Structure 1
């Protein structure tokens, strides 16, 4: 059997939604690829998927190991020169994979890329989970080209040129095998949320680039795998703090992390009056981090093993200001969103 050029890994946790995802991949994907489904839940939906699409390679986990672990299991058995980590609630458009492969072939320093991600339910707007490419401010708040917190822009072609970004969304994450082998796979300690940002941060430190490739387009049913819930809020708060402790350089740890912790404390104090669940999620996230120092130290050491770029250059890839500040101005005065750029256009 000839080696596939691309291995598409679809982590799956219950639900028939995967059937639409697989059909869309087979209907709209050109070239030599293999499709690997990693099943995290035993509701029988993958059995129907295997009956309808017998060519898929199926891996069954003993339980729900989480997004990061499932993606790693899939990449471990993948044979392609490139990987795509594709959510099971995504549908792809014609030519999506060809555009990503051609871009990667012409940009050998690109370790990770993402397509333009459009909302499945409102195809005029970007999707929350990645939009046109991920960025991050100096305090560690992630946002996107086309999405700042819960404000989503309409897609009017404003981000239709490829550009360097800070992180590529795990919704449809295109990876070069060589880059993953260089820095390691996803950190399974995150379970889900923030793991792709952590991976991209490690790629930057090792000298790889991360790009948005808007010629490739996918549609995402945001929140299908883990709808807005207390668990989701908790993972976002906890994982964001772990992300910063793992990846901040020493000057940033000393100067910026205390301020970020202060903002988390303010969330704990203010949220009970409007979002008591968020207050508790932020508190428990801080308590977890404070009670697992050795775990965080071990993960930081692993994250820094492939370090080739000076800390100052990696730091410059973060947005210099505070997205919280600019978001407040935008919401109040209607000023332009402060995200209409990547790190640089290509």
Structure 2
């Protein structure tokens, strides 16, 4: 007989052993009112992540891949075997705070129209991160999103606004989000063409078109040590742009050439400005030099057809 859980925590890991163990500790410490399981999908780590989890947390269900399959495909492996009514996708660099899982679960139980929801992501110092996002459009590309959030706060909500009640949003940030299994069954699982970045945005649009809504729950709080599960170098930024292009090609194919051209122009301008700054400082300013190198690598990738 299959045991049904309230929550199935799904963690995708790639070489973040210490963060992974910290994440699991926080789940055990702070989830007390729901029956839950934890499913780890490891994408061919070489740092002893799986061995550490099996030693410290033998109850965790481990799926071990022989290659890095990416975020979407790895999560889908867990969805295929999960026994919970809700999946909680949580990054290894995220840490649940007391009551977060209970508040997310309670909201989903009392709002049957909700396909997914997210809480408030926090930096280590307690300051707020962006926890939700709008779908990419030509407007958000042409005009800085910070400006849009200032002049159209209802259309473009952000971390700079204080919310005391849940609000509907277009997309949740995937560092920690709860997803209804029945909504997943209706709208489909994650699109595996995305390797990393934008999967949750694509998913939220699929949910919306299937009649489900996404919400932000401000009193569900989660630490997010941003960037430590994805990195911040040129390869990470290339993955980011590749995913954005995939999203636009999929949902807005007519505007893709314009979108692609604007991104390319912005990258070229950024590369030239950073090259000038590097020359002006004779390459002595390390952060500027590294940023210039990163821009040049991304521009080279772009010029070569975004492979």
Superposition TM-score tier, normalisation by shorter sequence: 0.7 to 0.9
Q: Distance in 1 between matches of 2:302 and 2:171?
A: 22
> In 2, distance between residues paired with 1:135 and 1:154?
10
Per-residue CA deviations over 1:13-34 (Å, capped at 9, x if unaligned) read 1132111111010000121010
Partner of 1:230: 234
Q: Deviations over 1:79-98 (max 9, x none)?
A: 11110110011111111111
1:271-299 Cα shifts (integer Å, max 9, x gaps): 3211453354255357556x7xxxxxxxx
- Name the counterpart of 1:96: 100
Q: Which residue of 2 aligns with 1:266?
A: 265
Task: State the distance in 1 between where 2:69 and 2:114 align.
Answer: 29
Aligned equivalent of 1:47: 51
Inter-CA distance 178–237: structure 2 relative to 1 (3 Å threshold): same
For 2:242 and 2:225, the matched residues in 1 are separated by: 24
**Residue matched to 1:9:** 10
CA contact (8 A) 2:198 2:244 kept: yes
Q: Which residue of 2 aligns with 1:59?
A: 63
Match of 1:212 in 2: 216
Deviation at 1:265, TM superposition (A): 2.6
Is there any run of 5+ residues in structure 2 with no aligned partner, and where? 151-156, 275-291
CA–CA separation in structure 1 for the residues paired with 2:204 and 2:104: 17
CA distance in 2, matches of 1:172, 1:286: 35
Distance 1:265 1:200 in 2: 26
Alpha-carbon distance in structure 1 between the residues aligned to 2:303 and 2:176: 30
Q: Deviations over 1:157-208 (max 9, x none)?
A: 7123211111111100211111111222111221101111111111111111
Please say if residues 271 and 299 of structure 2, whose CA atoms lie closer than 8 Å, have aligned partners that are also in contact: no
Aligned length: 274
* 2:119 counterpart residue number: 115
Name the CA shift for 1:285/1:79 in 2 (closer, same or farther; >3 Å): farther
- Find the aligned partners of 2:263 and 2:60 in 1 and give their Cα distance: 43
- Equivalent of residue 195 in structure 2, options 191, 205, 214: 191
Alpha carbons 1:134, 1:143 under 8 Å: kept: no
User: Residues 270 and 156 of structure 1: is their aligned pair in 2 closer, same or farther, counting only changes over 3 Å?
Assistant: closer
Distance 1:76 1:44 in 2: 25
Instruction: Please give the residue correspondences for 1:102-141 in structure 2 after superposition, counting only pairs within 5 Å.
Output: 102-120=106-124, 122-123=125-126, 125-127=127-129, 131-136=130-135, 138-139=137-138, 141=141
Name the stretch that deviates more: 135-144 or 10-19.
Answer: 135-144
Deviation per CA, 1:39-76: give whole Å up to 9, x if none: 11132122122221111111101121111111111111
Runs of at least 4 residues off by over 3 Å: 140-144, 153-157, 256-259, 285-289
Residue 35 of structure 1 is matched in structure 2 by 38
